[in-house]
Amino acid sequence: MKKEELINYTVRENEDGMSIKNFLTHKELSRHYLIKLRNNDKVTVNGKIYKFWNPVSCGDLITINPYLDDVSNVSPVKMDLDILYEDADYIALNKDFNTVTHPTPGHMDNTIANGVLYHLQCSGYKSLHPINRLDKTTSGVIIFAKHPIAQHALTLNRPYKEYIALVEGIVEKDHELINLPIAKIDAPSIRRIVTQNGKESRTEYFVLSRSDKYSLLRITLHTGRTHQIRVHLSHIGHPLVGDFLYGEENAPRLFLHSNIMIFKHFRTNKEVRVIAPQPPIFNSYLKA
């Protein structure tokens, strides 16, 4: 285990006398995760292993090996991956259009998760932990954590995300914040609609360019509802090009791409910016 992969905490004065278990619980580590750390001797105090009921003292160094030894329920599959960023805690990739993110009953072996797990296991890691999800038809930045502490950090401090979208028609406003609630239609449909009975949903867009038929938008999400971008833009009369569910125009793909994700790294407190270049087809289709 490399030194930089371990996670260290120094006991502060107000934490003096806590048991190891309570100390780690106050770091918001789950009970399930703590049991695995304890059972696998992955926590030391000043370099030594103690029972979790032992008290800690001000100035003690608590060191955690955060990586789980559990074998993931995802099958590793060798794949070509477009890796945008990787460190001891995270791996970010550029997901291609028409690629499934996580295994589902109809797609068990050729998903991004399968390929990422193979890549991680070649480096000695045994499990992966998802941060964000993208629909099969959406391309762009997708991130996995290598252990639960890294995953939990981005649950507390969610990444900032931007998307690029090509939509039908000429969007007249240069900028708009769409604040309309969204709800799911009754099963078996997977469609969502704007309705007063839905959950709060806010999508902000900025027009980047226009042609006589399409508009290219930069989009930020202030909430994270399923199909949120697709539903909101369709509702205002500008569905995504290639959106078979909410639009009408046939196209080579769904023109939605997650191009930027920014997060604050829990180890360094510094900003990490991950960029997936806009696919060339967006501009070529806009100009065509």
Please give the model's pTM, rounded to 2 decimal places: 0.90
Q: Tell me, yes or no, if 89 is annotated catalytic.
A: no
Q: What is the largest CA-CA distance in the chain?
A: 71
- Cα–Cα distance, 62 to 48 (Å, whole number): 9
Hey, what are 186's tokens? Answer: 């009754």
Q: What are phi and psi of 13, to 5 degrees?
A: -60, -40
Predicted local confidence at residue 108, as pLDDT: 76
Predicted local confidence at residue 27, as pLDDT: 87
In order along its 288 residues, the chain shows pLDDT tens digits of 565 689 999 999 999 999 999 999 998 888 899 999 999 999 999 999 999 999 999 999 999 999 988 777 889 999 999 999 999 999 999 999 999 998 887 777 889 999 999 999 998 888 899 999 898 999 999 999 999 999 999 988 889 999 999 999 999 999 999 999 999 988 788 899 999 999 999 999 999 999 999 999 999 999 989 999 999 999 999 999 999 999 887 899 999 999 999 999 999 999 999 999 999 999 999 887
Predicted local confidence at residue 73, as pLDDT: 81
Hey, what are 31's tokens? Answer: 């009970």
All domains in the chain, ordered by first residue: 3-64 (3.10.290.10), 67-156 (3.30.2350.10), 161-258 (3.30.2350.10)
Predicted local confidence at residue 70, as pLDDT: 78
Predicted local confidence at residue 288, as pLDDT: 77
Catalytic hit among 70, 135, 186, 243: 135
Cβ contacts of residue 157 below 8 Å, gap of 6+?
263, 264, 266
- Cα–Cα distance, 109 to 235 (Å, whole number): 36
Q: What are phi and psi of 69, to 5 degrees?
A: -95, 0
